Structure 1
């Protein structure tokens, strides 16, 4: 019987040059092989570098990569993990200012907000539409998207990475 595998992507949106080898070592410890990333200047943050990595591993590898990189000053990154049989997809976003955000995703990469999270937004809003809006915005990770969007656009000249269906 073959092991269930999934695919994912790591986008390091910005890292200072001194941190780049440490990022490679951290990723290598998760994927259990040496990782040499191609670092290119990040136009959205002069003096910073960006890189991408397509990975294949067991379900949960995305969480391990995100955890290995979590909390490093000046590091902005996103990790995605595609759904696999019996396992939802996921996305992790990290910025120095906001910390880490995690969301479950569907087969198209859309964030799925659970019924309990929506009920919490209604209850905590207590009839105040602004409070409900703020809770749903938090559940969707909008603050992380707003902060990372300039770094994503700065990568428009980067090679296209195609996602593949697993299973």
Structure 2
């Protein structure tokens, strides 16, 4: 995988594990360590929105596409609530991935200020598919990740003692 990114620009982003059972936390760290080729010692704290679950946040740096690789590494644990963002870099849009148990994974392009971007072709496809059904607003909500935002909002508050960890993977 490293050879595929030898000419890619570096980027950074944020991983938010909004809720995880304590027993899964070491597995999350092992998966991140394997993905980023660096030790992931996350600082876990209690999640006020779900007593008994833990949360952690980590800023990361790495080659373009690292956000998707982090998401892929976390998918084996469907009970996790998490978000991964990857900032835009030269010629590449930013991305946001959100995972919620019961809803699954949502992915969208992201502007520099964090707004979800819907491209022209995606909008045209949504309009064409829902022109006569009256479901256009509902389908746009899905495309914008509204259900994921609604579900994750109570988990996004840092709460007392929430810390951020930096993870770094070499680019090039």
TM-score by length of 2: 0.86
What residue ranges of structure 1 are gaps of 5+ in the alignment? 162-167
**1:37 is the counterpart of 2:42:** yes
Specify the alignment match of 2:150 in structure 1: 146
Which fold has the larger relative contact order, with Cα–Cα distance below 8 Å and residues 6 or more apart in sequence? 2
Specify the alignment match of 2:104 in structure 1: 99
Query: How far did residue 127 of structure 1 move?
Result: 3.0
**1:134 is the counterpart of 2:165:** no
Q: Residues 56 and 45 of structure 1: is their aligned pair in 2 closer, same or farther, counting only changes over 3 Å?
A: same
Query: How far did residue 83 of structure 1 move?
Result: 0.6
Q: Is the 8 A contact 1:25 1:35 kept in 2?
A: yes
Q: Residues 32 and 160 of structure 1: is their aligned pair in 2 closer, same or farther, counting only changes over 3 Å?
A: closer
Specify the alignment match of 2:125 in structure 1: 120
Query: How far did residue 71 of structure 1 move?
Result: 4.4
What residue ranges of structure 2 are gaps of 5+ in the alignment? 1-6, 166-172
Q: Is the 8 A contact 1:71 1:96 kept in 2?
A: no
Question: What SS does structure 2 have at the residue aligned with 1:14?
Answer: strand
Query: How far did residue 8 of structure 1 move?
Result: 0.5
CA distance in 2, matches of 1:45, 1:88: 33
Q: Which runs of 4+ in 1 moved over 4 A?
A: none
Length, aligned pairs only: 158
Q: Is the 8 A contact 2:57 2:164 kept in 1?
A: no
Aligned 1:68-79 pairs, distance under 5 A = 68-79=73-84
Question: What SS does structure 1 have at the residue aligned with 2:127?
Answer: helix
TM-score by length of 1: 0.88
Range moving further from structure 2, 105-114 or 74-83: 105-114
Specify the alignment match of 1:84 in structure 2: 89
